[in-house]
Amino acid sequence: MSSERAYRDALGRYPTGVALVTRMADGRARAMTINSFISVSLEPRLVLWSLARDSLRYGPFLAAQHYAINVLGADQDDVSAACAIDDDLDAAGARWTPGAHGAPLVEGAIARFECTRAAVHPGGDHMLILGEVTAFDAPRDAPALVFHRSAYAKAG
C-alpha cells in the first residue's frame, strides 16, 4: 500500500461531519460536499472549510464572497453523494431557499450557516477559507451525517 493511501486510511479513522457549501452562480444553485468544516471563533463568529486546489470547482468556490454551509442530517446521504459528483443542487434533488445574500439554504439540513468570506490562506494542496457567520439556524433536530472509513454513517 502506498504511503499516501495509508495516510488517507489513517485519517479516515476519525469520523467527520458532512456538509454542503452552497453558492449562487449565474442564477443557479451550486453545491460542494465537504467534511472539512470547523468552528474557529465564537467572537467574532468564524468558521473554516478547505478547498482542494485540484478540485474542478476550485475557481468558482474560491471566488464566492457569500456562501452557506449546510450541515447534513443522516438521511441526506443521497444529496451529499450527488453533490460530490455534480455541483448542480437542483439536479441533486435538494430543495432550498435563498439566504440573505442569496446563498442556498438546504431544506432538511440540521444546521445552516450563512457566511461572508473573511480570509483565504494556503494550506498545502488546499486553500483554507475563513468565513464570518452572518446568520445561522438549526432547523431540525436529527442525527448528523458523518463520514468514517470512506463510508457514510449516522452520528448519535
How would DSSP label each residue in 62-105?
HH-SEEEEEEPBGGGHHHHHHHHH--BTTTTT--EEE-TTS-EE
Q: What's the pLDDT at 133? A: 98
Does 110 have pLDDT greater than 80? Answer: yes
Q: Provide the whole-model pTM.
A: 0.94
For the domain bounded by 14-148, which CATH number is listed? Answer: 2.30.110.10
Quickly tell me which residue has 479513522 as its cell: 13
Cβ atoms of residues 152 and 80 within 8 Å? yes
Please write the tens of the pLDDT for every residue from 33-88: 999 999 999 999 999 999 999 999 999 999 999 999 999 999 999 999 999 999 99
Q: What's the pLDDT at 148? A: 87
As a whole number, the mean pLDDT across the chain is 94
Domain ranges in the chain are 14-148
